[in-house]
Structure 1
Amino acid sequence: MSSTVKPLTHPSPILGIIKAAAFEHSMLSSHAFNWDGPAARAAIEKWYTDREALDMQDPTQRFFVSVATSTDDLGSGNDETIAAWARWGVPHTKPDSTNEQDEPEYKRKKKELIENPPTGGRPELLGAFFREAVAARRKYLNEERDYVLELIATSPNFERQGHGSRLLKCLIDKAEADNARIYLEATMAGLPVYERLGWKTVDEVRLKLADYGIEGDLEDVFYIMIREPQGPGNKEQKH
């Protein structure tokens, strides 16, 4: 089986399906959403898919997929499957106006969608995460110069096959070519991977789940991370 990284320019339900499967057991998603039964899961997948469809209208967002290709025993006929996908933001100039009435329709729809997640979960927990993420970006992100790894998700059926690594390499290569930083918010599970690839933690976001009606002393931690460009010129400047 071979794989190829390619851009994705059209919305697809597979984005929501993979995202739901990849994050179902993360601390935030498992407590913020209601996963009880096929109907609840389908609602989450659709919510994710609808959000990505709106992000695809944003000129600052880029989508890439890692496609797994299998060939039958006779060497003919290829079966392509999206194994993983990523979305990242590219550097861009800030809009001249901050008036919400001047915002594009897709941005207004995205805000409405985020404020109305699938029923049965804990929207207040999800809202707290989004507020903290926005606050961190205002503090650390330079929208005019930085890339942003918005999301990366691999189907559980294709884990540990290098699909996520290839998507990350694509982004890193682009940022290095532009001598740019890459900003992201990482979970505990993703932290070691990003550290190995050059990201450094600059801050942490901590959410006490007891504040949102969840028993126990659980705390969800998100790591605000930035990867500085590491080309030869930058390495020389650090010494």
Structure 2
Amino acid sequence: MPSSNITIAPLTPSSSPLYAAVRHESFKQTLNYILYAREPSQASLDQVAENVAKDIETKPNYFYFLAKDSEGNACAGAKWQFNGTGKDGMEVGERSWEEVERELTVPEGYKESDPRVWKAFFNMLNGAKREILGQRPYLILQTLVTHPNHERKGAGSALLRWGLEQADAKGVETYLEASQIGAPLYARYGFQPVKDLVFDLRDFGYDGPEDKMRQVFTLMIRSPQGKVGSPA
């Protein structure tokens, strides 16, 4: 359970910079090595916030949340996405391949991104979704981030539970790409590993610590269940 000092609320466009800041701090030692070839500029961090704000305003199947402490500090954030059928992608039912491919695009990178790395990484993730999920509708946890100064306060679990309750209500699977640090948490909430993907920056000529250059992502699925309880 989250600390009584933690509150969870839908993210608003005006609060998107807070979400972007938490994401950046959370990814510093892991995913940022893939997303950026060098330290991102403030302009790139602003671009993250602008993209999030645009999602909130234009994509009804995207759901962003922000956790704050009693002093109003942003602690954690989550991005959920429902991939269904229909005009807004919100209907439960088998998707056409056109609908599937519409969600499997490579997003625009940042000024500091290496285009080779960026394209290869997102093509790897998209290929796995195509292979594993096919035309089935599902809810995906695109992002779950906690600021390093606010870990182990239950904010991440609270953000996770929101999506699981939605998936159970719709009777659809939940999918995610877990870091090796995050995988045990997801397993406690009923996620099962499907396969591991390995992305090695040394394949693109980079050099550095093993845990930064070679990152493993465990693809996990959770079948719809009854009421979401405490983790096992």
Shorter-chain TM-score bucket reads 0.7 to 0.9
Is 1:221 paired with 2:213?
Answer: no
Which among 15, 18, 29 is matched to residue 22 of structure 2?
18
1:68 corresponding residue in structure 2:
69
Change (3 A) 1:32 1:146: closer
Is 1:168 paired with 2:160?
Answer: yes
| Contact 2:12–2:53 under 8 Å retained in 1 | no
Change (3 A) 1:35 1:18: farther
**Alignment RMSD:** 2.8
Is 1:45 paired with 2:45?
Answer: yes
Amino acid at match of 1:30: Y
Q: Which runs of 5+ in 2 are unaligned?
A: 88-95, 228-232
Q: Deviations over 1:187-220 (max 9, x none)?
A: 1121111112211111222223221112377422
CA shift, 1:88, in A, is: 0.5
Q: Deviations over 1:53-109 (max 9, x none)?
A: 23222121111122222xxxxxxxxx423221111112421567949xxx8xxx9xx
Change (3 A) 1:32 1:172: closer
1:58 corresponding residue in structure 2:
59
Task: Tell which structure's C-alpha radius of gyration is larger.
Answer: 1
Is 1:209 paired with 2:201?
Answer: yes
| Contact 1:47–1:118 under 8 Å retained in 2 | no
Equivalents in 2 of 1:118, 1:210: separation in Å?
21
Equivalents in 2 of 1:209, 1:13: separation in Å?
28
Total equivalences in the alignment: 208
2:8 corresponding residue in structure 1:
5
1:155 corresponding residue in structure 2:
147
Equivalents in 2 of 1:231, 1:142: separation in Å?
24
| Contact 2:13–2:52 under 8 Å retained in 1 | no
Give the TM-score normalised by structure 1.
0.75
1:130 corresponding residue in structure 2:
122
The alignment-based identity, stated in percent, is 29
DSSP 3-state at the match of 1:2:
coil
Q: Which runs of 5+ in 1 are unaligned?
A: 70-78, 233-239
CA shift, 1:135, in A, is: 0.9
Q: Which runs of at least 4 in structure 1 moved beyond 6 Å after TM superposition?
A: none
CA shift, 1:131, in A, is: 0.4
Amino acid at match of 1:4: T
Is 1:186 paired with 2:178?
Answer: yes
Change (3 A) 1:138 1:94: farther
Equivalents in 2 of 1:19, 1:33: separation in Å?
13
| Contact 1:62–1:88 under 8 Å retained in 2 | yes
Equivalents in 1 of 2:83, 2:206: separation in Å?
38
Equivalents in 1 of 2:217, 2:82: separation in Å?
22
Equivalents in 2 of 1:29, 1:94: separation in Å?
34
Equivalents in 1 of 2:24, 2:173: separation in Å?
28
DSSP 3-state at the match of 2:53:
helix
CA shift, 1:174, in A, is: 2.0
DSSP 3-state at the match of 1:164:
helix
CA shift, 1:143, in A, is: 6.2
Give the TM-score normalised by structure 2.
0.77
CA shift, 1:231, in A, is: 2.4
